[in-house]
């Protein structure tokens, strides 16, 4: 059982827990989760030490691992599980996208979604390009805030290979969305694309009615470069 596999890591997390850091992290995350209070470098170090001794779970165990991690109250479990899944992208099959979708839609908050969308879902779409549009369209039709945000930011790691037409289409379709997380994601995705194609982003921003937040975020890199 995956719970037995993680026994040693759980003991290590408990040993290094910091109640003050945990309380501050919980407040920062608007009381969405409990925390051990492990700074990210320490958490990753403890995970690396554990993996060195116990190895990674098998690919067939990823679903069980994710559901176990998502049952735990401390947010660090979700972080480590996401990072383990990301290690399997090269060996992945298309069915891993369903697991990524499940992760996005459960215990949803920006910290998990902003990792899963570009680092797991986005890379899986890149590996299995025939799956991308069916999922993206499904997500766009879902009305789920976090699936909408994931649609916008799944290309963040594509760099120059990002699909401009898809990116601009998604931004345009969601430009009137009232939620902060969507407007921020529009700007973020455009800002990332502007690092390679600033003129295209400037043209899009100037020709579309997007929120001030989206506009400001989209042009950050361009404005910074033109300031110095």
DSSP 97-160: HHHHHHHHHSS--HHHHHHHIIIIIHHHHHHSHHHHHHHHHHHHHH--HHHHHHHHHTTTTTGG
pLDDT of 226 = 78
Q: With CA atoms as reference, report the closest residue to 86 among 76, 73, 70, 99.
A: 99
Structure tokens at 213: 């937040």
- 95, 33 in Cβ contact below 8 A? no
> In CATH, which of 2.70.50.60, 3.40.640.10, 1.10.3720.10, 1.25.40.290 is domain 158-228?
1.25.40.290
- H helices present in the chain, as ranges: 2-5, 7-15, 19-28, 40-54, 62-71, 75-86, 96-105, 110-116, 122-127, 129-142, 145-153, 164-173, 180-194, 198-207, 212-218, 220-227
Domain extents for the chain? 158-228
Residue listed under structure tokens 């290979």 = 161
- Torsion angle, alpha carbons of 77, 78, 81, 82, to 10: -150
Q: Does the pLDDT of residue 227 top 80, yes or no? A: no
Taking the whole predicted model, whether its pTM rises above 0.85 is answered as: yes
Q: What is the mean pLDDT of residues 111-117?
A: 98
- Residue 82 CA to residue 60 CA, distance in Å, equals 15
pLDDT of 228 = 42
Residue listed under structure tokens 């290690």 = 87
Q: What is the mean pLDDT of residues 97-125?
A: 98
pLDDT in tens, 6-63: 999 999 999 999 999 999 999 999 999 999 999 999 999 999 999 999 999 999 999 9
Q: What is the mean pLDDT of residues 181-200?
A: 98
% of residues, the chain, pLDDT over 90: 97
- 114, 90 in Cβ contact below 8 A? no
- 171, 213 in Cβ contact below 8 A? no
């Amino acid at each position: 059982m995956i719970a037995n596999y993680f026994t040693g890591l759980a003991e290590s997390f408990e040993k290094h827990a910091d109640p003050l850091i945990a309380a501050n992290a919980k407040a920062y995350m608007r009381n969405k989760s409990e925390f051990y209070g492990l700074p990210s470098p320490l958490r990753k170090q403890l995970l690396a030490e554990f993996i060195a001794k116990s190895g990674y779970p098998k690919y067939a165990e990823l679903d069980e691992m994710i559901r176990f991690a998502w049952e735990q109250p401390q947010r660090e479990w979700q972080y480590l599980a996401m990072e383990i899944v990301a290690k399997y992208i090269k060996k992945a099959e298309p069915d891993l996208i369903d697991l990524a979708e499940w992760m996005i839609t459960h215990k949803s908050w920006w910290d998990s979604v902003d990792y899963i969308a570009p680092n797991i879902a986005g890379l899986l779409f890149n590996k299995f390009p025939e799956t991308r549009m069916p999922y993206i369209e499904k997500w766009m039709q879902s009305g789920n805030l976090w699936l909408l945000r994931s649609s916008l930011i799944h290309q963040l790691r594509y760099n120059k290979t990002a699909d401009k037409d898809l990116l601009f289409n998604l931004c345009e379709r969601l430009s009137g969305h009232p939620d902060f997380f969507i407007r921020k994601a529009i700007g973020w995705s455009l800002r990332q694309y502007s690092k390679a194609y600033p003129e295209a982003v400037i043209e899009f921003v100037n020709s579309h009615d997007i929120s001030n937040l989206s506009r400001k975020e989209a042009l950050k890199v361009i404005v910074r470069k033109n300031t110095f």
